[in-house]
Amino acid sequence: MAAVSSIEDVDVVVVGLGPAGALAAAGAAEAGLNVVAFERKKTPGQPVQCAEFVPAMLHHETAHIKAVTQQLISHMRSFVEGQPPDDTADFRGHMIDRDRFDAQMVAQARAMGARCEIGIGVAAISADGILQTTDGRCFRPRVLIGADGPRSIVGRAMGSRNTELVETRQITVALLQPLNGTDIFLRADIVGGYGWLFPKGSFANLGLGVVPNERDRLKPLLHQLHGELQEQGRVSAEIIQHTGGAIPVGGMIKCLGKLGTVEVLLAGDAAGLTNPITGAGIPAAIHSGMLAGAALRGWFAGAPEALAEYEVELEDLYQTSLERACRRRAEMLSQYDHGGRPDAAALRRSWIAYDAYWAA
C-alpha cells in the first residue's frame, strides 16, 4: 500500500458502475458529497453479461428504461422437457439495451457531480478501508460501496461473499419468426438453472445457466438448444455475439460492515440480491442503488442510523422472496442426490410460472 501522504481522502468511493453503483454514486453526489466511482470495464455495460429483461413493474421507477427498450414483452412460455409449452399470459416487461442503459446511469452519476473513472479497477483494499486502484493510486473514503458484482472485492474485504453461483453462457442470434414473449426451457440436463430465449426485435438472447461443477456442459447444452431452435425455423445458425458470467444464487448476504473506521455497504449482485431461481438482477440493482444513495445522504446529514436502515429496507423488500427461491432451488437440486433427476413436476415446482412454486 502507498505511503500515507499519497492517499486521497474522499467522502464516498463506489466500486462498480453498473446500475447499482451508478445510482448510488448519483444519489450521494446529488447531496454535494465528494464521490469517486471506479469501473474496471473499459466501457460500462460491455460486454453485456445479462439477458436484458426488466419486469414492467419497474418501469415507473426509472425513465431511462423507456429510452433503452428494444422490445416490449407480453407473456412467458415455459417448456418443460419435451412437453408443449405452458403459457403465462400476463407477464409483461421490457427487453433493454443493457450497455446503453449502463452508459445512461453513468452519465447521470457524472451529471450529479460524481467522479467516474472508467477502465480503472480496485487492486486491493486494506483492513482499514484504504483502496489501491489498478493504476497505483490510493483512496481513503468515509463510506465505501461495493457494487462490483457477485465476486465483489469489497465484499471479500469485509468478509461477506457470495458462495453459491450459477455459471452462464449466452449467444445472440437472429430471430426468423416474430416473438413477443420470453421462452423458458426447464430440463433436468440443465442442472441448477434453465435455458432462455429472450427476443430483441429481429434478434434474441439465447442462453442457459448451470451450477459451477457442470460448467463444462454449458457449451454443448447451448449448442443443442440452438440446434433445436434452428430445426424449428425459429433462429439463425449464425452466432452474432457470445457472452457469459456468474450469477449469485445463494440469497442476500451481509451487506453492511466496517473496515477500520470506514463504513461499508454492498448493493446489487454484490449483496446477493439476484433472484436465485430466475437470475433476475436488474430490478434489485436499481432499487438497492437508489436506497444506498439515500442512505448516504442521510448518514452524511447526521442520521447515524441511516446505514443500518438501508440493510433493514433491503431485508424487508427481498428477504421473503429470496428465501422462497432458495428453498425451491435447494429442493430441485436435492433431486439429483444419489444419481436421481428431477421429473417434470419437480421442474415446475422450481419455476415462478407455476402455482406449485408459490405453494407453502
39-68 pLDDT per residue, tens: 999 887 777 777 889 887 655 556 778 889
**225 pLDDT exceeds 80?**
yes
Determine the residue type at 186: L
113 and 242 in a common domain: no
Answer whether 226's CB lies under 8 Å from 240's CB: no
Q: What is the CATH number of the domain that holds 155?
A: 3.50.50.60
**Phi and psi dihedrals of 172, rounded to 5?**
-105, 130
pLDDT per position as a tens digit, 153-194: 999 999 999 999 999 999 999 999 999 999 999 999 999 999
270 and 147 in a common domain: yes
307 and 235 in a common domain: no
**295 pLDDT exceeds 80?**
yes
pLDDT per position as a tens digit, 96-125: 999 899 999 999 999 999 999 999 999 999
* Mean pLDDT estimate for the chain: 95
Determine the residue type at 188: A
Q: Where a domain ends, among 206, 230, 248? A: 248
What is the predicted pLDDT for the residue at 42?
87
Using DSSP, state whether 126 is helix, strand or coil.
coil
211 and 183 in a common domain: yes
238 and 109 in a common domain: no
Instruction: Tell me how far apart the alpha carbons of residues 7 and 329 are, in angstroms, rounded to a whole number.
Output: 45
Number of domains in the chain: 2
CA distances from 182 to 73, 228, 317 (A): 7, 17, 25
What are the grid coordinates assigned to 114, written together? 460524481
Instruction: Tell me how far apart the alpha carbons of residues 258 and 48 are, in angstroms, rounded to a whole number.
Output: 32
Answer whether 289's CB lies under 8 Å from 268's CB: yes
Answer whether 329's CB lies under 8 Å from 275's CB: no
**Residue 17 belongs to domain spanning:** 4-48+98-163+252-326
Q: Where a domain ends, among 248, 268, 295? A: 248
Residue 333 forms part of a structural domain: no
Residue 316 forms part of a structural domain: yes
Q: Beta 93-96 vs 75-80: how paired, if at all?
A: unpaired
Instruction: Please tell me what DSSP assigns to residue 268.
Output: G
- Locate the DSSP E strands across 176-323: 181-186, 195-200, 203-210, 235-248, 256-259, 262-266
**Phi and psi dihedrals of 263, rounded to 5?**
-75, 140
117 and 81 in a common domain: no
Q: Which residues pair with 78 in a beta bridge?
A: 86, 184
**Phi and psi dihedrals of 59, rounded to 5?**
-60, -35
Alpha-carbon torsion, ordered 106, 107, 113, 115, to 10 deg? 50
What is the predicted pLDDT for the residue at 58?
55
Task: Place 294 in a pLDDT band, splitting at 50, 70 and 90.
Answer: very high
pTM listed for this prediction: 0.94
213 and 133 in a common domain: no
Instruction: Please tell me what DSSP assigns to residue 88.
Output: E
